[in-house]
């Protein structure tokens, strides 16, 4: 075999290996790319059904579909994950998300619509769709909204999502569903 053939074959193998590794990382850390936007969070005996909303243009359809069948619905708008750090670009989101998920897991029959925002599209853009959406009107991330068939009800923004009383507030809000 010629040396050129070996080099070419070796390069192709390396390229394929890297391509598969990148796809593996994307599908494991960004479920919206895998086609599996529903994730069951299993951190307690009660389970929050988490539905990833891949983009703002899909929000209304996913919201309306889940309002038909969900007993308790919450919407979380947060900074998307950064591939290199596997954390949100938003420090408030990094602190608040685990607290929110934990609190919601302690409430029966909860559906959470996870709405990540990409920093480059969101930051400083007053026309970002979640900012201009009639029901969302996002001013900052994270924002957690309790949503009923009548529309958005209670709302927790930034540091409010980290309050020690969050679980009690969420339970109280969801009693009226």
Mean pLDDT calculated for residue range 96-111: 92
**Residue 2 CA from chain centroid, whole number:** 51
How is residue 89 annotated by DSSP?
S
Alpha-carbon distance of 121 to 17, in angstroms, equals 31
Can you give the pTM of this predicted structure? 0.73
Tokens of 49: 């059904």
> Are the C-beta atoms of residues 154 and 169 closer than 8 Å to each other?
yes
Q: What is the pLDDT of residue 1?
A: 52
Query: Between residues 13 and 112, which one has the greater pLDDT?
Result: 112
For residues 149-175, b (16+ Cβ closer than 10 Å) or e, as one string? eeeeebbbbbebbbeeebbebbeebbe
Residue 161: its H or E element: none
Tokens of 154: 């209670």
- In the predicted structure, residue 85 carries a pLDDT above the cut 90: yes
* pLDDT tens track for 105-134: 999 889 999 999 999 999 999 999 999 999
- The catalytic residues are 90, 93
Q: What is the pLDDT of residue 34?
A: 42
Alpha-carbon distance of 7 to 30, in angstroms, equals 34
Contacts of 86 (CB under 8 A, 6+ apart): 29
């Amino acid at each position: 075999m010629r040396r050129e053939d070996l080099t070419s074959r070796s390069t192709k193998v390396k390229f394929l290996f890297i391509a598969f590794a990148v796809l593996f990382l994307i599908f494991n850390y960004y479920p919206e790319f895998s086609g599996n936007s529903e994730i069951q969070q299993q951190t307690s005996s009660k389970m929050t059904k988490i539905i990833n909303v891949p983009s703002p243009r899909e929000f209304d359809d996913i919201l309306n579909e889940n309002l038909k069948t969900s007993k308790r619905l919450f919407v979380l708008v947060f900074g998307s994950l950064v591939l290199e750090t596997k954390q949100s670009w938003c420090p408030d989101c990094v602190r608040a998300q685990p607290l929110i998920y934990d609190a919601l897991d302690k409430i029966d029959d909860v559906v959470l619509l996870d709405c990540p925002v990409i920093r480059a599209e969101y930051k400083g853009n007053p026309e970002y769709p979640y900012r201009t959406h009639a029901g969302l009107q996002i001013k900052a991330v994270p924002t957690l909204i309790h949503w009923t068939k009548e529309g958005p009800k209670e709302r927790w923004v930034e540091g409010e999502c980290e309050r020690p009383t969050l679980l009690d507030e969420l339970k109280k809000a969801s009693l009226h569903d």
